[in-house]
Chain A
Amino acid sequence: MILQKMQLAKIAATLVTLSVLLSACGEAEPQAAGAPPAMRRLTNEQYRNIVADVFGSQITVAGQADPLLRTDGLLAVGARSAHITPSGFEKFYGLAKSIAQQVVSEDNRAHLIGCEPANTAAPDEACAKQFFTRVGRLLYRRPLLPGELDTAVSAATAAAQTTGDFYRGLSVALAGIMTTPQFLFVVDTTEPDPKHKGQVQLTAYSKAARLSFFLWNTMPHAALLDAAEKGQLDTKAGLQAQVDLMMASPRLDVGMRAFFDDFLRFDQFETLEKDSVIYPAFTVKVVEDAREQVLRTALDHLIERKQDYRELFTTRKTFITGPLARIYRIPTARPSGNAWVPYEFSADDPRAGLLTQVGFSALASHPGRSSPTLRGRAIRESLLCQKVPDPPGNVDFSLFEESGTNNKTARERLTAHRTAPACAGCHKLTDPIGLGLENLDGVGQLRTTENGASIDPSGDLDGIAFADAAGLGKAMHDNPATPSCLVDRLTAYGLGRTPTSGQSAFVAYLKQSFTNDGYRLPDLVRRLATSEAFYAVSPPEPETKPVQAAALASQPQEKAP
């Protein structure tokens, strides 16, 4: 049954591919210069996904690595410049040790090791080699080099001799593998490009890794590595076949969820705090569900129903849970538990689109009140890819925050604030947008008044006036920067770096194609994943050579078996 579904999905995906190709007829992908190869540290989510994919979801990953630095709007780009500090390495080592111990535990060894030692109290090189050959290929996203395999087996043997326990030996060596740069960093490995003398290209395994982390946010699965090994990713048809298969999988949701989590800066949810006296209904569960609601809405709209991306800002369809329903003040037949149920706000409801969801309005607010400035800035920076300068350090908040100023609403307070010339410039960029969401308090609950005064939710986005939150959603829908920003971010997310100037024509091509395709995200993802530019690399930059050298030195100079 599942197979049939997969086949049907594959056929459907193939048809979609054909239609994309037909629709894009005459719009050839422009040639794009590649960027120098890089290495990206695994994100926490990627690390967890890999462990679950290789060893199963019963393995607990108890902890997380140091946070990444958001760069050019994305953590995925920041991962490129991530370093592992000594304390950060300790965390990775602690994780690896714990995972390795679980893998070889009595509960798991039978189905995770794949072989049994002749004597559990002594080394067994054959079994260890078999295990590391299989698992190492998945963890390193390529076959282990003979030297790497020998090192792992030797380490397992030595540790088994010391401890008198084959499995403890295996555990020590596995923890070692999981703390190597080859595992913790996704490294772009290159080889000479046979078609262009003097140029380099990504190895097939690196292509597989780039594709897999983009679509599924995890390491390449065994079949994809097989395809890489057979050279199938080096042909257009082979690559498209793999992309079609991966896009037809429910695991595409995992990959796109990771993208939107990064795109919308939802890592901030992990430190989100609200004043429980002011917002008693904003519980820990609401925080969790608010994040999930936006992602679920986006994936349903964009992936499941393949709708226009711009309509994400006007759609009234979403999903709710009991805790969220209390914030939205709507009924639900499932008031407790974790059940998600579809919900559609009525046409006369003030809520419409992603911006009016709790996940957005609560995140871009202060702990005890709303913030048109934070909301406006979040829209500008996250959704429109525009930079808003940081506030100066000497802002005089007394102008609008002190009691007795008679400024009851945020609009009044910010109007007072904007009288300061140093503040006016930036606040003009943010406040007229954010004021459109003032009918939503600091956690996204509807309100009509603030401190007894009526709220005026009108505003302006780049010269387009709107009356309320729904109007702001419409203005976002119509703003050309909205889809353009998505393309920019998705491209940077997939490449792991902000596109270079040599790739600008390719990005422009993607934007035009996105428009032609009716702003359908799956089409954009497919076009990007199957493009030549997505895998293009240039020789390492001279100034980055010392850094790259460390990574590349450990890469295959000898042919993998």
Chain B
Amino acid sequence: MICFGLSAVRTMRAVGLVLPMAVLGLCQPAAAAAAKTTTLGFVVRDWFTAIYNSKFIDECPEGLATSNDETWWRGLSKADRARLTDNGLIQNLNRMPTAMRRGPNGENVCLNPTVVQDPPMRVVEGKYSFGANLDGNTDGQASAKTCKHDNFTHPDGTPGIDNQMYRLIGCVYGWRRGGLPELNAHEGRGTSGLGMTLIEITGVTDPRNSPDVTVSFYRSVDQFALDGSGRPLPYSSYNVDVAKDQPRYGDSLKGAIKNGVLTTARGDVRLPFYGNYNFLHPTIRDMDLTLEIAADGSTAKGSVSGYYNLDEFLYYVGGMVGHTSTGDNCPAMYVAGHQLADGYPDPKTGECTHLSSAFNIGAYSAFIIHPEGSEPKTAKTAAAKP
């Protein structure tokens, strides 16, 4: 009787390359299986900010945030509106470059968000959010690692949810579910092969239940292998991005798999990211990963939570092309972001530098190839198991 499962991690020398392999093989006897470990690999395809949208936008009682274009438009006289839009012929979507350069000296306010002072940004005031309790409390009080903030309740009833990124962008039209920035970034990653995150789970004794695994994050130098409808094909191979015999990324977390669900301890993880023509290398602090692996092992979906660097996030927003359609207003978001940041206070100013955040991810099974001579980084987080 053949029984397919992921068999022992082996090293195979093929065409001069050392390949870490997880191959389908025969079931091992119980005693032998206990001594062997396997490796699971995934390539992340979907990366969406976890946004809680109520049916009637109750979380934004005063309405959605005012966009940069709207703010600019409101500040113009009728004569200026006619002059700057070619007597109205330049439509909303096409006047973005003009609207962005509304600084007192024509500065781009997304690259220089402090040169103007806009009305306060409308932010989320609702009760519910996705995410996790990052600081361990339910009252939002400040601590050595956090600033005072309001907590959310998870839709499943869990209190103490920290997600200030959602609070910041949850009332911005483009950031709400199905909005342009996320979808555009998603499509861009899928077709360009940029900013591709690989997740490697080592020390797996059983793909459905493994008490002690190590989860490492890398960047791929190979593009997605896609099927005819544009979806990634499971079981493709991806080479790890390496420089000087070391992965460019490679941070690790300890974790466990229980009933097919991987959960990790928290730790700082630097990830590759590409979206809306911007490259980022965010280090998500106190990050954890939950990954529900499909029964056949071909796909997985889950979530990431942690503290996201505010400056990097604002850089991302500021560097986007197409703010008119995203609904962002950089100067107002810059102010609101600094007010809402709740993690990692600056030792000098006391002002928090990170936003609590949560993301939904989707991934496809993958073989992660470490080029010959490169060695995976040693797990740097030795936190207790979750």
Interface residues of A, Cβ cutoff 8 Å to B: 276, 280-281, 283, 322-323, 325-326, 329-333, 335-336, 341-343, 346, 348-350, 439, 446-448, 454, 457, 468
Contact = CB atoms under 8 A, between A and B. Distances in A.
Given A281-B227, A448-B3, A332 B26 contact: no
Contact of A446 (B4, B22, B233): B4
Nearest to B238: A335
Contacts of A468: 2
Contacts of A331: 19-23, 237, 367, 369
Contacts of A325: 235-237, 367
Contact of A346 (B2, B4, B23, B231): B23
Interface in B219-274: 222-223, 225, 227-229, 231, 233-239
Contact of B23 (A276, A322, A330): A330
Given A349-B23, A448-B2, A332 B367 contact: yes
Interface of B: 1-4, 7, 14-15, 17, 19-26, 222-223, 225, 227-229, 231, 233-239, 367, 369, 371
Contact of B225 (A329, A333, A335, A448): A335
Contacts of B227: 276, 280-281, 283
Secondary structure of the B contact surface, majority rule: loop
Contact of A333 (B14, B24, B229, B235): B14
Contacts of B3: 448
B239 A333 contact: yes
Contacts of A281: 227, 233-235
Contacts of B231: 280
Contacts of B22: 331
A276 B15 CA distance: 32
20 contacts: A276-B227, A276-B228, A281-B233, A322-B237, A326-B236, A329-B24, A330-B367, A331-B19, A331-B20, A331-B21, A331-B22, A333-B237, A333-B369, A333-B371, A335-B237, A336-B222, A342-B15, A346-B25, A350-B4, A448-B3
A335 B239 contact: yes
Residue among B22, B24, B228 with the highest chain A CB neighbour number at 10 A: B24
A333 B221 CA distance: 11
Given A329-B24, A446-B24, A457-B2, 5 more contacts: A280-B228, A322-B236, A332-B237, A333-B15, A335-B225
Given A333-B17, A349-B24, A280 B229 contact: yes
Contacts of A343: 14
A342 B236 contact: no
A346 B28 CA distance: 14
A336 B223 contact: yes
A335 B15 CA distance: 14
A97 to B, nearest CB: 37
A460 to B, nearest CB: 18
Contacts of B20: 331
Indicate the member of B23, B234, B239 with the most A CB atoms within 10 Å.
Answer: B23
Nearest to A339: B15
Nearest to A335: B237
A322 B22 CA distance: 16
Contacts of B367: 325, 330-332
